Amino acid sequence: MIIYNLYLLLKDFLYLIFLRFFYNLNFISKNNYYHKIVEFIKYKGVVFIKLSQIITSRKDLKKYIDPFFEKKLESLQDECFHNEISIISNFKYIKKQPIAAGSICNVFLINHYPFGQAVLKTTHKHILEKISNSIDQVLILNSLLTILNYTKILDILDINGLKIFLLNQIDMNLEARNQIKIKNIFKNIDFIKIPDIYKNKKDYIIMEECKGLKYKKFVEKYEEFEDECIALIYCSLYKMIQGKIIHGDFHHGNFLYQLENNRVNIIILDFGIICSLTDTQSYYLLESMNIKYNKKKRNIFFIKFVYELNYDIRVKLEKYNLNEKHDPDTIINIILKENIKIPSEFISFFTTFQTLIIKINKHIKTKNNHFMEYLLGYALDNDII
Ligand SMILES: Nc1ncnc2c1ncn2[C@@H]1O[C@H](COP(=O)(O)OP(=O)(O)O)[C@@H](O)[C@H]1O
Ligand SMILES: [Mg+2]
C-alpha cells in the first residue's frame, strides 16, 4: 500500500512541478494555474479538501497563501462533489442527484413510508479507505515538502488529530446519537428545531426534511429579521453550553431559517462532531457570553474558560499575561499561532466561536449597541438566560 501511495504521489508531484513550470513560463494563466490546483485537491479527496477548508477558515494560516489562490480555495468550503454519488438501491429517491454533497456525505430527498418526503444522509462509498489513503498521502507529501523546505502549513496542522476528527464523522449511528442528545436540549424551545430521526444505520440517517433558507438568502429576503437570526444563533449556543454539549461545527452552512407567524425559527443540522463540557467549563463560557456584563468582565471569564481546557494551554498562555484586554478573538489567535494542542473536537469549536463572536460584535457596533439591548430583551423574553 505504501509503495502504491508513493507511486501515486510521485505522479502527482511531477504533475505539480510541470504545472508550476508551465505557469512560470507563462504558458498558462494564473487563473488557470490555480483552477487546476483546486481541481487537483478535489481529485485527491477528503483529507486534502478538509485541509484546504481548515486553511481558508484560519486567519493565521491564510497568510501563507496567495490571496488569489485563497479565493479559489474558498470554493471548496461548500462546493458539491457530484462525482462522489453513491446510491443505496432500496430507497425511493425523489431525485438521484443529491441536494447537497460534501467531502464525507451526500444528502438526498427520498420518500420514506409512512412519513413521506424525507432527507437521506449517506456516507460516500469506501469512505474509510479513502480517508486512510488520503492521510497516508498527506503524510508522505509532508515529508517531501519538508525536503523542499516548504513545510509551514502542514507543520502547524495536527494530521493525526485530523484523522481522528474525520473518522469520528463517518459513523452515522454516532451522528444520530449526537443529534438526539442535542435535540433533547431544545425539547422545550419551539423556535430552535432539530430534525427528527426516522431511521439510522452505520452508513446512513433518514430524517425529517426541514424546509428553510440559509442565512444569506434568508436575510436577503427578510432584511428586517436579521437581528432575530443573530439572536437565535446566540440563544442556540447559550442553551447548548448550558446543556454541556455543543455542536462542534456550528457555522452558517449548518443552519436553516424559516419564518412562521412572523417570527424566525432556526433549524440546526449536521451533528458529526459534538464537544462535551465540564461543569466549570460550561459555567465560565456562559459567563463569557453574559450580556449583562461589560466586555472586560466577559473577557476575563473567557480566559478562565480557556485555562480550564487543559494544563498545557494554561502553561503556554501564562507567559502572555492575559488580562481583560484580551478578547476571545485575540486569545484564539494566540492559541492557533502558538500551535498549542487543544482537544481535537475543540478545534472547530474555537473557529466557530470566534466567527460567531466576531459576527455578534460587528453587529453590535454597526447597530450602535441597540442590538445589545435587543439581544438581552430577546433572550430574557424567551427564557434563555
Ligand atoms: N433535515 C434536513 N432538512 C433539510 N435540508 C437538509 C437536512 N439535512 C441536510 N440538509 C441540507 O443538506 C446540507 C448538507 O447537510 P449536512 O448535514 O450539513 O452535511 P455535511 O456533513 O456534508 O455538511 C445542509 O446544508 C442542508 O442544506
Ligand atoms: Mg454541514
State the distance from the centre of ligand 2 to the C-alpha of 98, rounded, in angstroms: 14
Atom 20 in ligand 1: residue holding the nearest Cα = 102
Pocket probe mutation, ligand 1, options 108, 269, 271, 348, max atoms within 8 Å of Cβ: 269
The single residue listed with the C-alpha cell 425539547 is 187
pLDDT at 19 over 60: yes
Q: Are 219 and 133 in contact (CB under 8 A)?
A: no
Range with the lowest mean pLDDT among 111-115, 210-214, 289-293? 289-293
Atom of ligand 1 nearest to the CA of 104: 22
pLDDT tens-digit readout, 326-364: 888 788 778 777 767 677 667 667 767 767 777 777 777
Q: What is the pLDDT of residue 64?
A: 73
pLDDT tens digits, one per residue of 26-70: 888 988 999 898 888 888 878 888 878 777 766 666 777 788 888
Maximal C-alpha separation, the chain: 64
Ranges of each domain in the chain: 2-76+127-156, 211-381
Contact 284, 308 (CB under 8 A): yes
- Give residue for cell 484564539: 332
Measured in residues, the chain has a length of: 385
By the 8 A CB rule, do 179 and 245 touch?
Answer: no
Does the beta carbon of 195 lie inside 6 Å of ligand 1? yes
Is the model more confident about 361 or about 79? Answer: 361
Calculate mean pLDDT across residues 216-226. Answer: 95
In degrees and rounded to multiples of 5, residue 243 shows phi and psi of -80, 0
Mean pLDDT of the chain: 85
Does residue 82 have a pLDDT over 70? no
Range from 235-239, 284-288, 350-354 carrying the lowest mean pLDDT: 350-354
pLDDT score, position 241: 94
pLDDT digits (tens, 9 = 90+) for 162-202: 788 888 889 999 999 999 999 999 999 999 999 999 999 99
Looking at per-residue pLDDT, the higher value among 237 and 333 belongs to 237
300 touches 324 (CB < 8 A): yes
Query: In which band, very low, low, confident or very high, does the pLDDT at 134 lie, cut at 50, 70 and 90?
Result: confident
Poorest-confidence range of 109-113, 225-229, 351-355? Answer: 351-355
Check if 270 has its Cβ closer than 6 Å to any atom of ligand 1.
yes
Atom of ligand 1 nearest to the CA of 253: 25
Q: In the chain, what percentage of residues exceed pLDDT 90?
A: 39
Report which listed range, 65-69, 84-88, 375-379, is most confident. Answer: 375-379
Is the peptide bond between 114 and the residue preceding it cis, with omega within 30 degrees of 0? yes
Q: Give the percent of the chain with pLDDT over 70.
A: 89
d(CA 270, CA 107): 11
Residue 153 has pLDDT above 60, yes or no: no
pLDDT of residue 76: 73
pLDDT at 203 over 90: yes
